[in-house]
Amino acid sequence: MENVRFAVYGVGPIGSLVARYGLERKWMELVAAFDIDPVKIGRDIGELVGLDERIGVVVQKPSLDILRSVRPDVVLHATGSFLDRIYEQILESVKAGSDVISTCETLSYPYYRYSELANILDLEAKKNNSTILGVGVNPGFLLDLLPAILTTPCLRVEKVIARRIIDASKRRESFRRKIGLGLDKKIFDEKIKNGEITAHVGYAESICLIADALGLKLDFIEERQEAVIAEREVMVGGIKIDAGRVRGVRGYGAGIKNDKEILKIEFTAAVGVEEEFEEIIIEGVPRIVWRSVGGTPGDLATAAVVLNYVPIVLKAEPGVATVNKLRPPSYSMVGV
């Protein structure tokens, strides 16, 4: 792989992991880092992401001028979950002629919630010869692309079920905050209602990705999530949840056709889960069951997914891409 010049846009927990592990790849060169947090602006990215050395790239306020002068091959973006709020940031990177890979959940299948914005981005990307991809571990891989790929050896598929259970105590602080850990149930419901917290975003996007991969035209999509309440005090990984408080969330997305649930994804993120795992069941001929042991560490895996898509996105057609339309991803051992 030739030298790839990349920028990180958003140096929170996920952007930091992307920068840190991107720097380890010999064929990747970090040329810029952007964030709006005044505490991060001006700091060397090497120090910020926990490396022992300064690497000579300081975090700057996002700017089209800087992007245009640096011209990264790809911008790795991790600032938010909702496309209407981060759309301008993606556009800025596209206008600089860069490809963009973003962890924005609703960008993983932007036609579901934001079809108008998706079409504008698609046009702008094509005009600027740039590819835009929304991807991460979930949505983007475990509960959508992977189940779709697992239908490959089937002669017939009746239903696709994918589940994921994770221990929220192992996840980054911003994740624990967005699932409302420790809140009173009433306050959790209020915060979800007014958008102050989001819990998991992307149930419907995952359903759309599976349906699109399978060429399945759904009648409708359902998504729902609720708080998981601690029945007694829970203490895991230094996190204590009092009885009666929120210890996590559980939710689902479903794809319905002819009154039948054809696609179902279920997700639980809570403190005090018995076991972490992902499980995919394809009801069909043959019946396929796949299950991970010990689960997939979501934050690290998201950074890995983003980095592993770099070579794919750089070679993809311009426009808005979705994972089911690109070549199957993998880790690249070139240069290792």
Ligand X SMILES: NC(=O)c1ccc[n+]([C@@H]2O[C@H](COP(=O)([O-])OP(=O)(O)OC[C@H]3O[C@@H](n4cnc5c(N)ncnc54)[C@H](OP(=O)(O)O)[C@@H]3O)[C@@H](O)[C@H]2O)c1
Q: Which residues bind ligand X (CB under 6 A)?
A: 9-15, 34-37, 62, 78-81, 89, 103, 105, 136-140, 172, 174, 302
- Residue 241, token pair as written in the block: 């949840």
- CB 300, min distance to ligand X, A: 10
- CB 49, min distance to ligand X, A: 12
Which CB atom, from 89 or from 131, has the smaller least distance to ligand X? 89
Q: What are phi and psi of 97, to 5 degrees?
A: 85, 15
- CB 202, min distance to ligand X, A: 6
**Residue that the structure tokens 């929120």 belong to:** 246
Which CB atom, from 188 or from 267, has the smaller least distance to ligand X? 267
- CB 38, min distance to ligand X, A: 8
- CB 72, min distance to ligand X, A: 15
Which CB atom, from 62 or from 311, has the smaller least distance to ligand X? 62
Which CB atom, from 72 or from 136, has the smaller least distance to ligand X? 136
Q: Which residues contact 63 (CB under 8 A, 6 or more apart)?
A: 34
Distance between CA atoms of 284 and 290, rounded to whole angstroms?
Answer: 14
- CB 306, min distance to ligand X, A: 9
Which CB atom, from 131 or from 302, has the smaller least distance to ligand X? 302
Of the candidates 275, 273, 271, the one whose C-alpha atom is nearest the C-alpha of residue 245 is 271
Which CB atom, from 80 or from 295, has the smaller least distance to ligand X? 80
**Residue that the structure tokens 């998981």 belong to:** 228
- CB 20, min distance to ligand X, A: 12
Which CB atom, from 51 or from 229, has the smaller least distance to ligand X? 51
